[in-house]
Structure 1
């Protein structure tokens, strides 16, 4: 389960955050992605301001790792870049060929490298089992040389598993999967499309020889969301039944694929709503909803602890 997004300063390392993580662990979870974002101003800015507010501090990140490990969870540290003006990070991009006076991929990757290496050093010091070096960077995915160089640099300071979280439908488009240890993607596929998409992903897994899991997957508890699980702003009333229907279909389809290693489900907030508020909540978190009970039973049935 992903925990703590978007990593807003002041929301981690609190009693409320500790209670949230404990309740997440109680659902049979045995891995967590501690996900936090740093901002750049626009999709064409070249500075990732990871030391500034609202990004969580290093102390908060260390707290999150240690809290998770104290609960027996394995940790994937997941630093992510976001755009302050609301543009989706998939659209971060620059000219293919450098032009004098225009921002460049080289300038952006230099700043992004600093951000990721900083996280890698924390992950190494705190013995995180995995580090995710990027998330849904669709326009940047084609910059193979830069990603390979970044991964090589990460490996000089971090000795755990390295992964990259590509966006949905991009699994068979990346050309540098051999550089990471684990292939992961955002599996927000329509409820009736799982078999078709898993067939496609299976080809990637077989040709690469790499382990695979969904670094993100899930569905809002909202009417209509199973058909568009990636649309967090889709209009619709609250529906725990719809979220449960999606979870059941997703788990059933993935259970048929022996190469599928599991999910880092989306998501569990540091500031968790109360049980009384669950029925009216339309977000991704399954806490207090039918999908939460299903998740607990499913994870515990598979391993005795979680998936």
Structure 2
């Protein structure tokens, strides 16, 4: 009887060990590494005042930064202005090159994202009645983009974004963009994308000419002051269904060239409407953190989604100061811990120098 008792104990122990081994080897669906875990780096007004401006980026676990050398187009004027004396140092050619060098020295990868700013307007609404005006603007834009592509090539930038949120321009002037992609690829041999606004990405005609589908992911998800994570995840479902259909059609991975949330109540719904009045709204760190958590839960286990760039990160702003900002930055807030948790899951080793323009079409 005693022998039988011990045999039973041994059998139970062996079963428990096997069960533990099976549980320990199960794959967490959220451990899949992503190619891009990035932050959008806010350009400084003047040269960096510290020798280590990338330190805060590294602390949050980011492996990439997006650098934006802004140009300007005034409403109704078919011109692109860049690198004037009135610009912030970090947005000009010198500042851009120095920032890339510092990022590379810190072991970070870089997306160079030249972007047009329309004062008191939006690039998505930019339109001209006369064809001659479009031709004039496109000439200026090309003369802005191609030197940026040359900088990207010279400094071995990992990803180049050739445009951002040109909703009307891409619809009305698609041949220009297709030719621009070809022109960029003659200068820059790395990977190339375009940053489409959330309400235009399904209509972009040239995704197959690029290496990624780029989306600025400010989707209206749920209209509530502080929605919980499951509710926001549920709000992503129809978006994910559309993205999966597009990805299957164009056969390109999707990245979020921008994603982020204001630190105010209601930040998961029509966030652009909140920007002008955000200082009148109560600070709400939890709403922002919940939005980040839900985004990562919704997308992390999707093979076709390869990460993106948080909007935005102030490199030389102390956390204690940033915590009071109602702006998009998660610095010094609960959202930073959310980013650290997800970015700690690791980055997939990519081949940033292999773009579709360098692939053998016969394979």
1:149 is aligned to 179
Shift of 1:36: 2.7
In the TM superposition, what is the alpha-carbon distance from 1:271 to its structure 2 partner? 4.3
Secondary structure at the counterpart of residue 128 of structure 1 = coil
Residues 1:304 and 1:186: Cα distance change in structure 2 (over 3 Å): closer
Superposed counterparts of 1:1-307, under 5 Å:
1-5=38-42, 7=43, 10-11=45-46, 13-16=47-50, 19-42=52-75, 44-52=76-84, 53-54=86-87, 56-84=91-119, 86-95=120-129, 98=131, 104-142=133-171, 143-191=173-221, 192=232, 193-230=235-272, 231-235=274-278, 236-272=281-317, 274-303=318-347
Superposed CA deviations along residues 98-147 of structure 1, whole A, max 9, x for unmatched, are 3xxxx521111100000000110111110001110000111111111000
CA deviation string 1:183-211 (max 9, x = no partner): 10101123443111111111111110111
Is residue 183–residue 211 contact of structure 1 (8 Å, CA) maintained in 2?
yes
Greater radius of gyration (CA):
2
| Distance in 2, Cα, partners of 1:233 & 1:71 | 35
Q: What are structure 1's unaligned runs of at least 5 residues?
A: none
Distance 1:185 1:91 in 2: 17
Deviation at 1:293, TM superposition (A): 0.9
Deviation, 1:304, is 9.5
8 Å contact kept, 2:161–2:192: yes
Higher relative helix content: 2
Q: With structure 2 as the length reference, what TM-score do the two structures score?
A: 0.76
Instruction: Quote the offset at 1:270 in angstroms.
Output: 4.1
Q: Deviations over 1:242-265 (max 9, x none)?
A: 110111111111124221111211
Shift of 1:237: 1.2
In structure 2, do the counterparts of structure 1 residues 155 and 60 end up closer, same or farther at CA, with 3 Å as the change threshold?
same
Do 2:215 and 2:256's aligned partners in 1 also have CA atoms closer than 8 Å?
Answer: yes
> 1:244, 1:51 → 2: CA distance?
36
Contact 1:20 1:269 in 2 (8 A): no
**RMSD across aligned C-alpha pairs, in angstroms?**
2.0
Q: Which whole-Å CA distance do the structure 1 matches of 2:78 and 2:314 have between them?
A: 29
Higher deviation after alignment, 67-76 or 233-242: 233-242
Structure 2 stretches of 5 or more lacking a match?
1-37, 222-231, 350-363
Structure-2 change in CA distance of 1:161 and 1:22 (3 Å):
same
1:189 & 1:238 partners in 2: Cα distance? Answer: 21
- With over 3 angstroms needed to count, the CA separation of the structure-2 counterparts of 1:120 and 1:270, relative to structure 1, is same
> Structure 1 stretch 26-35 or stretch 263-272: which is displaced more?
263-272
Deviations 1:27-60 (A, max 9, x none): 1101111113111222x21211112131532111
SS of corresponding position for 1:190: coil
